[in-house]
């Protein structure tokens, strides 16, 4: 494969089956690049958008991890599992879903929209007492889990064919769609688990613009979907800098910013390319991450 830029992002359409770690390992081999990370894990049974950070862009992944995520999902009413998804063992089962009308189901999903506190699944990577919850669950134990605040920006039912309910959701990072299905089933009194999950977007990055996992060794396909650091971080406030200011940032020195620049994390762009990410305070930008050599 010809040489890729030193830093950038590759949106990949992950199929169901491999873990996010598996995808990173495949990408390292296909792209012949050791420094590869990602901006948000997908469960093995899930498919969809995985945004890979390549080369120096691995240092920028934190600035994309908090972008809202969008999913298409299907939940199955009447069954709960120990993992809250189809990969687990069935714990409870009932046919009471047959007594639910579509209006009641829609109301239960609509009630999830907004800010809420969510308990993570036992089979998750959250830590309790320094240990991953899934490690504790595999020992056959349950522990108390602390609910965390998440935001459901939108939730729309797209199909009801009971016991299955399809929906589309956009939510804050850290939201477990498995927990959404579990809690809706509980609210309806019949239980539920997540049957299918596909991530369709991470902020402005959409799965329609991703490369298939088995095409990662196709240089032209990768180049077509390549996202430069400047474009990937376009959601951040930005300032344009000249060559002298670029040199100053590379040397770790602060630079003055235009008076209208607000405080906070800001991207510094030189000739349209991302030079650095810094903190603006008191009229100057102090570099935090410098991307150029």
Query: Among the options 43, 84, 85, 183, which is catalytic?
Result: 43
Distance between CA atoms of residues 2 and 169, nearest Å? 39
Kindly state the tokens that stand for 60. 């920028």
Distance between CA atoms of residues 94 and 191, nearest Å? 8
Structure-token match 């150029």, residue found: 292
From residue 25, alpha-carbon distances to 1, 146, 210, 218, 273 in Å are 17, 33, 18, 16, 28
Three-state DSSP at 237 gives: coil
Judge whether 43 counts as a catalytic residue: yes
From residue 14, alpha-carbon distances to 8, 18, 110, 156, 161 in Å are 18, 8, 29, 24, 27
CA angle 277, 282, 284 (to 5 degrees): 40
Return the exposure string of 177-202: e unless at least 16 CB atoms fall within 10 Å of the residue's CB, then b. bbbbbbbbbeebebbbbbbbbbbbbb
Structure-token match 């506190």, residue found: 117
From residue 270, alpha-carbon distances to 161, 242, 263, 273, 288 in Å are 53, 6, 20, 5, 16
Give the DSSP H/E element, type plus range, for residue 221: helix 219-225
Number of H helices, E strands in the chain: 7, 19
Residue 239 and residue 269 in contact, taking contact as beta carbons nearer than 8 Å: yes
Would strands 192-202 and 69-77 be described as parallel, antiparallel, or unpaired?
antiparallel
Active site members = 43
């Amino acid at each position: 494969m010809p040489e890729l830029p030193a830093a950038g992002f590759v949106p990949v359409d992950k199929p169901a089956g491999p873990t996010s770690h598996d995808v990173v390992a495949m990408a390292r081999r296909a792209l012949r690049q050791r420094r590869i990370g990602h901006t948000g894990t997908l469960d093995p049974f899930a498919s969809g958008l995985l945004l890979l950070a390549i080369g120096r862009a691995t240092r920028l992944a934190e600035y994309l991890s908090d972008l809202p995520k969008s999913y298409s999902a299907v939940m199955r009413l009447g069954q709960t599992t120990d993992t809250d998804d189809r990969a687990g063992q069935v714990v409870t089962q009932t046919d009471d879903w047959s007594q639910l009308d579509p209006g009641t189901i829609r109301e239960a999903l609509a009630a999830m929209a907004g800010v809420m506190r969510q308990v993570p699944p036992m089979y998750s990577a959250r830590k309790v007492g320094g240990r991953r919850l899934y490690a504790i669950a595999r020992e056959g134990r349950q522990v108390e889990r602390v609910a965390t605040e998440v935001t459901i920006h939108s939730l729309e039912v797209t199909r009801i064919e009971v016991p299955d309910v399809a929906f589309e959701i956009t939510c804050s990072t850290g939201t477990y769609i498995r927990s959404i299905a579990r809690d809706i089933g509980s609210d309806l009194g019949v239980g539920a688990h997540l049957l299918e999950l596909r991530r369709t977007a991470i902020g402005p990055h959409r799965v329609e613009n991703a490369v298939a996992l088995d095409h990662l060794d196709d240089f032209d396909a990768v180049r077509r979907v390549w996202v430069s650091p400047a474009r990937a971080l376009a959601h951040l406030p930005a300032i344009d800098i000249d060559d002298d200011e670029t040199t100053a940032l590379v040397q770790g020195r602060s630079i003055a910013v235009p008076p209208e620049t607000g405080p906070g994390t800001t991207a510094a762009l030189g000739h349209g390319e991302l030079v650095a990410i810094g903190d603006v305070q008191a009229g100057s930008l102090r570099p935090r991450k410098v991307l150029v050599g």
